[in-house]
Amino acid sequence: MMRRCRYADCEMVTKDAIRKLEGIVGAANVLSSEEDRKVYSYDGTSTWVHQPDVVVFPTETAHVEAVLALANEAKIAVTPRGGGTNLSGGSVPIRGGISLVMTRMNKILEISPGNLSARVQAGVVLMDLQKALAAKGLFFPPDPQSFLGATIGGIISENAGGPVCLKYGVTKQYILGIRAVLPTGKAIQFGGITLKNVVGYDLVSLLTGSEGTLAVITEAVLRLMPMPPARKTIIATFDDLPKAGETVSAILDAGTVPAKIELLDNWVIRNINRITGMGLSEGAAAMLMFECDGTDEVVAHDAEKIIGVCRRMGAAGVIVAKDAAEAQAYWKARGAGFAAVFSAAPTVLAEDVTVPRTRMAEFIRRVTDICKAADLEVTVIGHAGDGNLHPSVMTDQNNPGHFARAKRAVDEIIAAAVEFGGVLSGEHGIGLEKQKFMRRTQDPTFIDLMRQIKRIFDPNGILNPGKIWED
Amino acid sequence: MPETLENVRKFAADVAQCMKCGFCSYYCPVYREEKDEKALARGKNQLIRFLLKGEQELTEGFYGAIDNCLLCKTCVQYCPAKTRIDHAVIAARGDYAAERGLPLSKSLVFRHVLSRRWLFGWALRVASWFQFLLPRGEGKFRHLPQFLTALGAGRAVPEIAPKFLRDSLPERNPAVGERRYRVGLFSGCATEYMFPEVGRRIVDILTGLGCEVVFSRAQACCGAPVFFSGDLETGRNLARQNLEAFEGCDYIVTGCATCGSGLADYPVYLSESPEEKARFEAFAARVRDFNAFVIDVLAAEPGRFQLEPRFRGKTVTWHDPCHLTRHQGVAAQPRKILNALEGLRFVEMPDADRCCGLGGSYSITHHDTSKKIADHKVAGFEASGADAVVTACPGCIIQLRDALSRHGNGAEVVHIGELFRVKRSALDGPGDGPAPTADP
C-alpha cells in the first residue's frame, strides 16, 4: 500500500518501510505508536505541530546512510531533529514521513587541548559538552540559551547564536569540519581539523545554518577557546528604554567589546522580581547587563570603561556584582526573565529581528509605538550588544480578533527591522515560523539560487521539505 | 474537554504552564538514559494537553508514557516556567486507573493487603520462607509495591526481618526526662518489615530528646506507592485510616523520605471535599521528616549526638533522597547532623541530589533504566572517597546497596538514624554501653 500524503512530492511510510527501518537501526530505535508520533510533532515554538509517520533513532553514521538511501528511493520525507528546542518550526515534520532523531548519537569522540578542537557526534547536548570541556579549561563559545537541550547537530544546522556572540561570533566561526550524509545516502566529510582551509568551496559554511535541508550532520569538529580566567558582571538601569539602546553603541564606540550586553525592559524586570524575588529596581524602564571576560587586567579596564560610558549616557544606577555568586544570580534572573516572557500569555509571538546597533534605539521606539497603536502588550528583551532583539507580543491564538491584531503588529515590526537595515531572523532561523516573510523581504533571485542548490544536494526533495521558502 | 478525567482536569493550569523549552531534557534521569521524548516532562505534558483537548485517549501507550516517570521532581526543580508535571502525571495515572483499571494483581495488593498490616506482614513472612526460591530476573513479586517488588529482580536486597518492628517496639515509649512533645512514629512498610532496627533507633533518639513516641498499631501503608501509581481510591482509604491512627499526636515523624512526602501529598491528590482537604492539610502540617524534626523542631544541641562507635574515624557522604530534598525541601538538616558528629568526617559527593533511580515499583517495571541511573550514583560515591553512604530513605538504601554490590563495592549504606545516639546524661562519654532499646 502506498498512500500519498497531502503534498504531491512525498509518500507516506508503509508498514514494509517500517520493517526495513527496523532492520537498519534495530526495532528499539524505531517508534511509530500514536503517542510516539505525537511527542515528535512539535518543537519549541507555540504554534507548529505536525506528526511524523515514524520516528527513527540512528546510532551510527552508517544507519543514517541506509535510512536516507531507503527514503530517497521511496520518496519519503525525512526531517532531522536534535533536542527539539528550536524556535523556528525547523524540526517539525510538516510533511510527515520520518522524524530522524539524532539524540542517541551522543558521544564526545575526542577533545584535543593541543589543537583547541573537539570531535563530537551530532546528538551531543551542548551543556554536556561544555561540562566535559570545562574540566580541561576549554569552552565552545556559541551559547544559544537552549544549551540544556540543544544538540550540536541542531546548533550547526541553525547557526545558533547567544549572548556571548557579541565578542566571540556565532556558530559558523567555530565549525572546522562536518561529517554529513547527503539525502541520496552517501556520507561525506566537509572541512577538517585545521583552522585554515581554502580547499574548494566552503561547504562547511553552506551546511551551517542550512536548517537540515541539505544533508544530515552526524559528526562535527569544533573549534574551542581557552576558558577566560576572569569575569565581571555590571548592571545599569535607565529611565528610558531607547536610551539604553543608545548606550550600547556608545560602549562599542568607546572601543570596548564585552562578552555580553543583554537588554531587559520594565516588563521583564517586574517579572524577574515576581519569579525570583530579587528586588531589581522596578522604577527602571530598562536594564542593561554586561559581562566582561579575559584576564584580570582586561576585565578591570573594560569594566571601568563600561561604567564610565553608562554614567555619561545618563544611567539611573550602575551596580557591579560583588562576586561570582552575585553575578550568577543576575544571569539566572535574566534566564528567568525569558521564561516569564514565554509563559506570560497563552500565545507569545517572540520575534528574532536583528538591526544595526546604531539604529537600535530608533527601532525600539518604533516597536513600542506599533504595539501601543494596536493596544497590545509587548516586551523587548534581547542580545542588545549584537542588535538581536526579541520583541515578544502577548496574545492568544484562540482569540481570533486579538491574534490577528498581534500578527499584523509582528508584520509591522519585521518590516521596520528590514527598513532599518536589519534582518528578520538573527539566530532562530526561518523554518516555518518566518517563511512567510521570506518572499516579502528577500530578492527572488536569492530564493531561486537556494532552491537550485537544494536540488543539487537533494534531487528528490526528501530532506526537511517545506522549510525556509514557501512552496 | 472529555467528561471523565476528573483528576487531571484539576491540574489543567499546571499543564498549561509548559512552554516547550525542553530544558527538562537535561535534568530528567530517565530521558538522559533513554533519549525518548515520551520519557520527558515536556512529552508527557504535551500528551496530557492532547488528552485534555480530546485528541488523545487513555490508551495503554499513554499509560506507558506517564508510567515511565520516577517522580523525582528534578524537572520541576529546574523548570523555568515552574510547570508541576508531577501533579499532572499522578492525576493522569489516577484517571487511567479509574477508567481502565490497574493491572489486577497490583490492585489486589493495593486494595486488600496494604490496608491490613497483619495480612501484609503475614504475606511477607510466607514470602520470606520462600525467598531462596525466587528466580533471578523478573520475579513473582512484580506487582507488590515499593521495596517488595525489588525482591524479584535479581537484586541484592535486604532479607525480610526475622522480627517486625511491631513485634519488638511497644506502642508507648515514654520520653526521657520531661516530655516536650507527643510524637507519632510513622514507620512505613520498609522500616516495619525490613529495617526494624532503624525504627527502634529513631524512637530511641526521639525519646532521648524528650519526646513521648507513640507507635500506633492502627497505621497503614502511607499510600504513596498506591496513589502515586494512580489508585487514588485506595490511597484515600489509607489516608483516612492514617489520620485516625495519629489523632492526638503533636507531630507525626517518619524516617522514610517517601512516606513523608506521601503523607504530605494527601491534600494535593486525595481529598473528596473541601472539608476533607482541610483535614488532610492539618494532618500534613504535623508531618515531619526525622532530620527536619530533630534539627528544626527539637533544635537538638549537636553536642548531645554521639557517633556510633564503629563509624569513628570513618568518612561518609550523604545521598539526598528525591522525596526528601525536592518533595519536602529537607537537605540542610541531615548535613547539620553529619557535620556535628564528632569523630566522623563528612564529604559531599558530586550530584548528591541526583535520583538513585529506584522510584518504588519503577525499579521493577523499568528495571534496565533504573539500574543505569543507579550506576551514576555509584560513580559519584566512588569519586567522593567516602567509606559509607548515609541517607534517610529505605527505598534509596535498597537501590544503593544493590548498585554498589553490582559494582563489587562493599561500602555500607546506612540510615542516618543508625549513625548516632543521644547521650542520656552529662556523664555519658564516647563509646558507652549497649543500646538502651535492645531487641526484646
pLDDT for residue B148 is more than 80? no
Question: Using a CB-CB distance cutoff of 8 angstroms, which residues of chain A are in contact with residue B21?
Answer: 44, 85, 146, 149, 339, 342
Q: Which residue, B74, B100, B126, sits at the end of a domain?
A: B100
Number of CB pairs, chain A paired with chain B, less than 8 A apart: 85
B122 found inside a domain: no
Structural domains in chain B (count): 2
User: Which residue in chain B is spatially nearest to A348 when comparing CA positions?
Assistant: B19
Residue type, B63: Y
Helix (H, G, I), strand (E, B) or coil at B295: helix
pLDDT for residue B213 is more than 90? yes
Question: A7 in contact with B at a CB cutoff of 8 Å?
Answer: no
Domain assignment of residue B361, given as a range: 302-422
Question: A46 in contact with B at a CB cutoff of 8 Å?
Answer: yes
User: Which residue in chain A is spatially nearest to B39 when comparing CA positions?
Assistant: A39
CB within 8 Å of B200: residues ≥ 6 apart: B165, B168, B169, B435, B437, B439
CB within 8 Å of B427: residues ≥ 6 apart: none
Question: A431 in contact with B at a CB cutoff of 8 Å?
Answer: no
CB-CB under 8 Å, B81 with A339: yes
Q: Per-residue pLDDT tens for A351-398? A: 999 999 999 989 999 999 999 999 999 998 889 999 999 999 999 988
User: Which residue in chain A is spatially nearest to B38 when comparing CA positions?
Assistant: A39
CB-CB under 8 Å, A104 with B35: yes
Question: B36 in contact with A at a CB cutoff of 8 Å?
Answer: yes
Q: What is the mean pLDDT of residues B96-114?
A: 71
Report the C-alpha gap between B121 and B124 in whole angstroms.
5
CB-CB under 8 Å, A34 with B61: yes
What pLDDT is recorded for position B187?
95
Closest alpha carbon to B25 in B46, B7, B39, B4: B39
Helix (H, G, I), strand (E, B) or coil at B334: helix
Q: Which domains are delineated in chain A?
A: 15-104 (3.30.43.10), 108-226 (3.30.465.10), 230-419 (3.40.462.40)
What pLDDT is recorded for position A4?
43
Tell me how close the Cα of B18 comes to any Cα of chain A, in angstroms: 7
pLDDT for residue B261 is more than 60? yes
CATH number of the CATH domain containing B34: 1.10.1060.10
**DSSP element (H, E) containing A301:** helix A296-312
The three cell numbers of residue A134 are 570545562
Give yes or no for a contact between B418 and B308, defined as CB atoms under 8 angstroms apart. yes
Helix (H, G, I), strand (E, B) or coil at A381: strand
Residue A343 confidence class, pLDDT cut points 50, 70, 90: confident
Question: B53 in contact with A at a CB cutoff of 8 Å?
Answer: no
What pLDDT is recorded for position B112?
62
B57 found inside a domain: yes
- Selected residues 89-148 of chain A with any CB under 8 Å from a CB in chain B: 101, 103-104, 106, 123, 125, 127-128, 146, 148
CB-CB under 8 Å, A123 with B19: no
Where does B262-376 show beta strands of DSSP type E?
287-289, 305-307, 315-318, 345-346
- Closest by Cβ to B43, choosing from A39, A336, A343: A39
Burial (CB < 10 A; 0-12, 13-18, 19+), residue B96, is buried
CB-CB under 8 Å, A343 with B50: no
B118 found inside a domain: no
Question: Using a CB-CB distance cutoff of 8 angstroms, which residues of chain A are in contact with residue B379?
Answer: none
Residue B80 confidence class, pLDDT cut points 50, 70, 90: confident
CATH number of the CATH domain containing B318: 3.40.50.10700
Residue B157 confidence class, pLDDT cut points 50, 70, 90: low
CB within 8 Å of A167: residues ≥ 6 apart: A257, A258, A259, A260, A293
What pLDDT is recorded for position B1?
45
CB-CB under 8 Å, A83 with B25: yes
- Closest by Cβ to B19, choosing from A148, A336, A343: A343
What pLDDT is recorded for position A440?
86
Report the C-alpha gap between B308 and B91 in whole angstroms.
43
Q: What is the mean pLDDT of residues A210-232?
A: 97
- Closest by Cβ to B21, choosing from A36, A125, A146: A146
Q: Which residue, B100, B125, B152, sits at the end of a domain?
A: B100
CB within 8 Å of A154: residues ≥ 6 apart: A81, A82, A83, A85, A86, A91, A102, A160
- Closest by Cβ to B37, choosing from A39, A148, A335: A39
What pLDDT is recorded for position B160?
74
CB within 8 Å of B413: residues ≥ 6 apart: B388, B389, B390, B391, B397, B400, B401, B404
Q: Which residue, B73, B100, B127, sits at the end of a domain?
A: B100
B147 found inside a domain: no
- Closest by Cβ to B65, choosing from A35, A57, A85: A35
Report the C-alpha gap between A82 and A87 in whole angstroms.
13
B253 found inside a domain: no
B185 found inside a domain: no
B397 found inside a domain: yes
Helix (H, G, I), strand (E, B) or coil at A45: coil
**DSSP element (H, E) containing B268:** helix B266-269
What pLDDT is recorded for position B138?
32
B154 found inside a domain: no
Give chain A's mean pLDDT.
93
Give yes or no for a contact between A309 and A263, defined as CB atoms under 8 angstroms apart. no
Tell me how close the Cα of A305 comes to any Cα of chain B, in angstroms: 34
What pLDDT is recorded for position A288?
95
**DSSP element (H, E) containing B391:** strand B388-391
Tell me how close the Cα of B40 comes to any Cα of chain A, in angstroms: 10
Q: Which one of A25, A29, A32, A35 would you mutate to disrupt binding with B, by most B Cβ within 10 Å of its Cβ?
A: A35
Residue B146 confidence class, pLDDT cut points 50, 70, 90: very low
- Closest by Cβ to B21, choosing from A39, A85, A101: A85
Give yes or no for a contact between B321 and B391, defined as CB atoms under 8 angstroms apart. yes
Question: Using a CB-CB distance cutoff of 8 angstroms, which residues of chain B are in contact with residue A123?
Answer: 35
User: Which residue in chain B is spatially nearest to A147 when comparing CA positions?
Assistant: B23
pLDDT for residue A417 is more than 90? yes
CB-CB under 8 Å, A148 with B81: no
CB-CB under 8 Å, B17 with A146: no
Q: Per-residue pLDDT tens for B163-194? A: 889 999 999 999 999 999 999 999 999 999 88
- Selected residues 325-364 of chain A with any CB under 8 Å from a CB in chain B: 335-336, 338-339, 342-343, 346, 348
Who has greater pLDDT, A165 or B152? Answer: A165
